[in-house]
Amino acid sequence: MYMRDSLDFSTLDSVLKKTIEAVETSKEQVFDIAENARHECYSTRSELERLKREVAAIIQETDELDRQFRRSRQRLVEVSRDFTRYTEKDIKEAYEKSSEMQVTLSVSREKEMSLRKRRDDLERRMRNLSVTVEKADQMMTQIGVVLGYLNGDLGNFVNAVESAQHRQQLGLQVIQAQEEERKRVARDIHDGPAQSMANVVIRTEIAQRILEQGKIDEARQELRELREIVKNTLGEVRKIIFDLRPMALDDLGLIPTLRKYLVDFGQRYPIQTEIDTSGTERRLETAKEVVIFRMIQEALNNVVKHSQAKNVKITLSFGTEQVQVEVKDDGVGFEHKAQTDHPQFGIMGMRERMKLIDGRLNLESSSGKGTRVIFTIPIKIEEEKKL
Q: Which one-letter amino acid corresponds to residue 213?
A: Q
Cα(123)–Cα(28) distance, integer angstroms: 28
- Of 136 and 50, more confident: 50
Nearest to 123 by CA among 47, 186, 219, 210: 47
Selection from 76-85, 175-184, 226-235, 359-368 with the highest mean pLDDT: 359-368
pLDDT at residue 181, as a whole number: 65
| Global confidence as pTM | 0.41
pLDDT at 163 over 80: no
pLDDT cut 90: percent of the chain above it = 10
264-271: average pLDDT? 89
pLDDT at residue 1, as a whole number: 40
pLDDT at residue 154, as a whole number: 43
> Coil, strand or helix: which one is 386?
coil
pLDDT at residue 276, as a whole number: 93
77-106: average pLDDT? 81
Residue 82 phi, psi (nearest 5): -115, 85
175-198: average pLDDT? 70
Nearest to 387 by CA among 297, 289, 314: 289
Question: pLDDT, tens digit, for every residue of 10-41?
Answer: 565 666 677 777 777 877 887 888 788 788 88
Question: pLDDT, tens digit, for every residue of 286-342?
Answer: 888 888 898 898 899 889 888 889 999 999 999 988 999 999 999 888 765 544 444
Radius of gyration of the chain measured on its C-alpha atoms: 33
Cα(200)–Cα(239) distance, integer angstroms: 19
pLDDT at residue 149, as a whole number: 65
Predicted confidence band of residue 274 (pLDDT cuts 50, 70, 90):
very high
What is the overall mean pLDDT for the chain?
77
- 247-387 has which fold? Heat Shock Protein 90 (3.30.565)
**Looking at domain 176-244, which CATH architecture does it have?**
Up-down Bundle (1.20)
pLDDT at 105 over 60: yes
Domain positions in the chain are 6-150, 176-244, 247-387
Residue 325 phi, psi (nearest 5): -125, 135
Query: In terms of DSSP H, where are the helices of the chain?
Result: 2-5, 9-81, 88-150, 157-162, 164-189, 195-212, 216-244, 248-252, 254-268, 286-302, 336-341, 345-356
Helix 9-81 with 88-150: angle, nearest 10 deg: 170
pLDDT at residue 278, as a whole number: 92
Cα(183)–Cα(178) distance, integer angstroms: 9
- Of 241 and 69, more confident: 69
Q: How far from each other are the two terminal CA atoms of the chain, in whole angstroms?
A: 44
Residue 285 in contact with residue 383, Cβ under 8 Å? Answer: yes
Q: Which one-letter amino acid corresponds to residue 284?
A: L
Cα(26)–Cα(341) distance, integer angstroms: 37
Query: In terms of DSSP H, where are the helices of 245-253?
Result: 248-252
3.40.50.1100, 1.10.287.2610, 3.30.70.600, 1.10.10.10: CATH of 6-150: 1.10.287.2610
Question: pLDDT, tens digit, for every residue of 126-150?
Answer: 888 888 878 877 877 777 776 666 6
Cα(108)–Cα(61) distance, integer angstroms: 8
Helix 345-356 with 286-302: angle, nearest 10 deg: 160
114-119: average pLDDT? 88
- Of 199 and 360, more confident: 360
Cα(198)–Cα(204) distance, integer angstroms: 10
